[in-house]
């Protein structure tokens, strides 16, 4: 981790602090597992710096959390891609993506919260630059492959992809937000969700 006390960076190396702040914020979020505990002051402390220094690199807290998410979205995208490696059957690949999606959310609940369960940290940015849209395009492509293979009824891959997104997000976010609910066995539930989508999307 970042040392508790920092030495002033060399001239021209001011950007180093930015990386340290991001790392500190990420670590704090993972360790405490509570978004409320990730305060500007706590982040500054963990980075061995005073609170105002953070504003040299981020306009406000929302932008900072947005930047943390951006990195997380990249990992999310890689995680999902990796889950389908070596799977030839397009339908099998699609379900594996779905399972990977849910798994990622449950393994990183506080990150998932920021990514998909709160209002976007940075609002009103160009719709083609939305974080996570990259990962989503993988889903749409996977859907298109399934359509080509005749495993899914022909139609709008984007629409079907959005439907699949809402399905996996529904499971993930409810499990995170309502842990006290008397949930049925996870594998049974996930199996049913996949099964319903599978049957429901068939030609």
The residues in 55-114 that bind DNA, with binding defined as CB under 7 A, are 55-56, 59-62
Q: Is 152 in the site for its own copies (CB under 8 A)?
A: no
Range 45-81 burial, b when 16+ CB lie within 10 A, else e? ebbbbeeeebeebbeebeebbbbbbeebbeebbebbe
Answer whether 70's CB lies under 8 Å from 131's CB.
yes
Q: 65 is in the binding site of which of DNA, its own copies, none (Cβ under 5 to 8 A by kind)?
A: none
Neighbours of 83 (CB within 10 A): 17
Of 52, 9, 35, residue with least CA distance to 118: 35
Residue with tokens 């220094």: 53
Q: Is 125 in the site for its own copies (CB under 8 A)?
A: yes
Q: Is 159 in the site for its own copies (CB under 8 A)?
A: yes
Q: Is 49 in the site for DNA (CB under 7 A)?
A: yes
Q: Residue 119 CB, nearest distance to DNA (Å)?
A: 14
Q: How far apart are CA 21 and CA 138, in angstroms?
A: 30
Q: Is 138 in the site for DNA (CB under 7 A)?
A: no
Radius of gyration of the chain (CA): 20
Q: 193 is in the binding site of which of its own copies, DNA, none (Cβ under 5 to 8 A by kind)?
A: its own copies
- Among 23, 116, 138, 145, contact with its own copies (rule: CB under 8 A): 116
Q: How far apart are CA 11 and CA 9, in angstroms?
A: 6
Of 18 and 169, the one with the shorter C-beta distance to its own copies is 169
Q: Is 54 in the site for its own copies (CB under 8 A)?
A: no
Q: 154 is in the binding site of which of DNA, its own copies, none (Cβ under 5 to 8 A by kind)?
A: none
Residues that bind DNA (CB under 7 A): 6-17, 38-42, 49-53, 55-56, 59-62
């Amino acid at each position: 981790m970042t040392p508790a006390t920092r030495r002033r960076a060399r001239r021209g190396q001011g950007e180093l602090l930015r990386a340290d702040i991001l790392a500190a914020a990420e670590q704090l979020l993972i360790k405490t597992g509570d978004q409320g505990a990730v305060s500007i002051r706590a982040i500054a402390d963990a980075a061995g710096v005073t609170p105002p220094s953070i504003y040299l690199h981020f306009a406000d807290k929302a932008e900072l959390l947005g930047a943390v998410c951006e990195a997380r979205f990249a990992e999310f995208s890689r995680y999902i891609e990796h889950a389908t490696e070596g799977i030839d059957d397009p339908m099998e690949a699609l379900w594996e993506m779905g399972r990977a999606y849910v798994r990622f959310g449950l393994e990183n609940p506080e990150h998932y919260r920021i990514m998909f369960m709160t209002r976007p940290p940075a609002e009103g940015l160009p719709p083609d630059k939305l974080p996570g849209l990259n990962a989503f395009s993988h889903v749409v492509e996977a859907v298109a492959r399934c359509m080509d293979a005749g495993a899914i009824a022909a139609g709008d891959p984007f629409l079907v992809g959005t439907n699949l997104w809402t399905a996996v997000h529904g499971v993930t976010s409810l499990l995170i937000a309502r842990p006290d609910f008397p949930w049925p066995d996870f594998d049974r539930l996930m199996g049913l969700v996949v099964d319903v989508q599978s049957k429901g999307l068939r030609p």
